[in-house]
Amino acid sequence: MSSLDIISADAIIPALRANTKKAVLQELSDRAGAVSGLLSQEIYESVLQRERLGSTGVGKGIAIPHGKLARCTRIFGVFARLDRAVDFDAVDGEPVDLAFLLVAPETAGTSHLKALARIARLLREPVTTAKLRVARDPASLFAILTEGPASHAA
């Protein structure tokens, strides 16, 4: 499974404007609903439920919120570059400015974990995150997310 399998060009938010973690999650869920046909409120509730277990702010300004839904038929993602970094209760205490929402079927099992790992590896690359932070349009962000080196494969 490549990055192209889980994100599409219309699932990119180049300058998400939000002041809180919940607002970021809501905006990501709204876009996820729009690109998938799933109910954005169901996505939001699933992601919020996962957040209650512990923050998905993984550090260095990056968050990878995720959730599983019974009605979801495939793993997919939504990426946002935040207009302004927000507190996300990240493990390192740093505010988040890059967020990749991952939504998976309840039955996804290890493929969900592999997708999470692949996203984490991609966003752990300093060169990639530097490019994402300066890109301003959806096409550029999409290209950066999907051009990654072979080492990003799960």
Catalytic positions, please? Answer: 66
| Antiparallel, parallel or unpaired: β 57-59 and 62-63 | antiparallel
- Residues 145 and 53: their CA atoms lie apart, in Å, by 27
Closest C-alpha to 9, from 142, 148, 146: 142
Place of tokens 């599983």: 68
Closest C-alpha to 24, from 154, 32, 35: 32
- Assign residue 101 a region (left: φ > 0; alpha: ψ between -120 and 50; beta: otherwise): beta
- Residues 143 and 148: their CA atoms lie apart, in Å, by 9
- Residues 126 and 39: their CA atoms lie apart, in Å, by 34
